[in-house]
Chain A
Amino acid sequence: MTYMTINTSPTPPEAAVDLIIDQAGKTFPTPRGPVVALAPISLKVTRGSFVALIGPSGCGKSTLLRMVAGLEQPDDGAILIRSKHPEQFRKEGELGIAFQDPALLPWRNVFANVAFPLQILGRPIKPNNEKIRALIDLVGLKGYEDALPSQLSGGMRQRVAIARSLVSDPSVLLLDEPFGALDQILRRQMNLELQRIWAARQTTTLLVTHGIDEAVFLADEVVVMHAKPGRIAEIIKVPFARPRTPDLFSSPEFHALCDTLTAALHGPGAAA
């Protein structure tokens, strides 16, 4: 893992860049006047790296992720994933996404919900039966394949959404606070699983999170954002070797980095 962390510094030529955000900003018109969700920001993410976005609520993290997925158009600037426009890229089924809210189809059971992206992409389900079951197993929902979303707890629904985000074998994965509804123990467990999945597939991953420890544990670099207007305050590299084990959570270096991050979050310029 040599070139995991590239952003404003010049990119070494041998590391392919998966995501380029170039001076993209977003202002929403509202009845009470325009709201600047995101001032023009720039970010580069190399292939196979894991980037965590962290910042106070309302600083535009979700907006940034939605722009990368092509669900919002930046007012100015440009976004390219693997040199393609988001609308074009997502059609190829290379994009996986889990929103802040599970957004499950209420009338479909767990299995059919996980299979849903394949249907949208026009891929067959039958040959993928085994894979879908394995994903449901992976998120700890074995035996719940036939349950409807209304029969699951909030955390279980969120895990269905995580399994769903992986079903299309994406090369770029966007996760918006996917573990927000999980308890601390399950959250640790899912962190380890996510690291395993990411390491196995070398999926370029963008993770929005509220958990500082989660960001440090998982990411190659942490993008710290400030609000009003939403902007990138600092980008902090995480030097720990991989694979990372749960011991890391109790190491002094880990805590030192978490403290650095906390300081950056509340640093100069952070909205009161």
Chain B
Amino acid sequence: MSGATRENARIVFGVLVVLAIWEFLGSQTSWGVAMFPAPSRILAQAFADRELYWLHGLATVRTATIGFVFGCAAAMLAALLFCLSPSLELAFRGVNIALFAMPAIVVGPLLVLFFNGDWPQTILAALMVYFPAMSATLLGLRQVDPRLADLVAAYGGGETKLMLHVRFRGALPSLFAGFRVAAPLAVLGAVLGEFGSGTRWGFGAFLLSALPQGNPARLWGIGLAASLIALAGYALFLLPARRLAASTSAVTLSAVSPAAIAVSSGGRLRRIAFALVALALPFLLWWLMVTLTKVSPIIAPGPVQTILFLFEGRQASAARHALGLALGQTLPVAALGLLAGLAFAFVLAALSLLAPALARALMPVAMVAQNMPLVAVVPIVTLVFGRGVTASVFMAVLVVFFPAYVLLQQGFTTVPRAASDLVATYGGGRLKNLVFVAVPYSIGHLFAAARLVAPQALLGVMVAEWLLTGTGLGNLLNVSRGGLDYDMIWAGALISILISVAAYEAVGLIERKVVRR
């Protein structure tokens, strides 16, 4: 038996053992029956529900697929334009970051005001797909081997020829890597959109109707099925992405490092001007959207009206009070979840340096789990933690932990071999290596992880509040949606997006300070 086969056999054996324990606990213990229903029961329930799965699943898959196609098309077009004009990218920085950081659950109810049918959830799926697909494509287009650029230039070719013959083909692996990350997000966007759109069909609707029924096996089935769909999207692009990466990477190392993109060039004045444009553009687009669609300003107020809602008139202080109260409940939980999730991920990634076998076992689980749509864990969180504040915290920890762990683990593996060897040469063990080499080296990755997951923490808490706890900002938005309090929906969405963007930027700022050192 070869090493790979033995490894696979070990994995299959491990999975079987876990399933057997689960089956035993889930059928033989009272808490197991309530929280971890046995796989056989989940399957039996799913079989009984098969017609529901078919109808709901079809709706979600269709929505996610259409959203994915639209989102990727927009992303590729934007990446092409940004590659041709770095100034354009600077101007759209605000829009891009807002799209990345927005808690998707607040956007669903807004889209319902402009579109009907399946479009709100389809567009939400597209919006969630846009940022990862765009940034991956842009990275691919920009990463041109300088030697190939020289070759094209030496035969008199300009940017067009370079784009046509080198950039497009060279960007394919990045493009597919972007698709791979974006596909599960399309499913998440579709399901989050279904919560807010009031549609009858789709996993979002299925979950909403199943939550109060108290049938653990059905809840687990929904969570697992939603995860399966998302992971299928991920897997669909896994193989082509690998193939393309193998056929595209240069055979020899580039002698010259690629020229840094001259975004920071230009005077101070120019930078400030671009920052202002980037800040203004999202609001301008918002204003254009409500003006051009001719939706009543009562339902869809512009930016000015929404800000006035919070600061002028009789309702202003009441509205501010309600928002303040909600934020007071949401933000501490999100911050706690973020810090706990990051700390947990950091400790576990560091520990796996001391015990490499642990890392080998955990990494595949984390890779899979980070692509699970976070709504899929809602059933599990409810069954285990109930509907209190612990459910919110745990939800935030869960959405933070997996991507952070994957990133940190990758950070620890980039530690140069020579540095570790140096510690070993002087008789230092794994612990010394960890303290003096690995941790300092992976600080950069810690910040990258924090920036990536900070908006996720807020989204996780808001989803929990919306579906389970009935407190905080998530609940305020859900209640306002039910009560047709449009001004409050818009104000809440604005505030939560601003907070997300601020968190993202704050981490970036601290990162630049620390890394510059």
Q: Which residues of A contact B (CB under 8 A)?
A: 66, 69-71, 87, 90-93, 95, 97, 99-107, 116-117, 119-121, 148-150, 154, 157, 168
Contact = CB atoms under 8 A, between A and B. Distances in A.
Interface residues of B, number: 22
Contacts of B152: 120
B431 interface: no
Contacts of B156: 87, 90-93, 120-121
A90 B255 contact: no
Contacts of B147: 99, 101, 103
B153 A70 contact: yes
Contacts of B250: 106
Interface of B: 145, 147-148, 150-157, 161, 165-166, 169, 247-252, 255
A119 B165 contact: yes
B145 A117 contact: no
B152 to A, nearest CB: 6
B155 A148 contact: no
10 contacts: A87-B156, A90-B154, A90-B155, A90-B156, A93-B155, A106-B251, A107-B169, A119-B161, A120-B161, A120-B165
A105 B148 CA distance: 7
Nearest to B249: A106
A95 B154 CA distance: 8
A150 B161 CA distance: 24
Most buried by B among A93, A97, A105, A117: A105
Most buried by A among B152, B154, B161: B154
Given A103-B147, A105-B148, A71 B153 contact: yes
A226 B154 CA distance: 26
A69 B150 CA distance: 9
Given A90-B155, A99-B150, A120-B155, 9 more contacts: A71-B153, A97-B154, A101-B255, A103-B148, A116-B151, A121-B155, A149-B251, A150-B251, A154-B252
Contacts of A99: 147, 150-151
Nearest to A102: B252
A103 B155 contact: no
B247 A148 contact: yes
Most buried by B among A69, A97, A103, A148: A103
A103 B249 contact: no
B37 to A, nearest CB: 50
Contacts of A157: 251-252
A168 B154 CA distance: 12
Contacts of A92: 156
Contact of B150 (A103, A105, A150): A103
B251 A117 contact: no
Nearest to A164: B151
Nearest to A97: B154
A100 B252 CA distance: 12
B160 to A, nearest CB: 10
A109 to B, nearest CB: 11
A87 B248 CA distance: 29
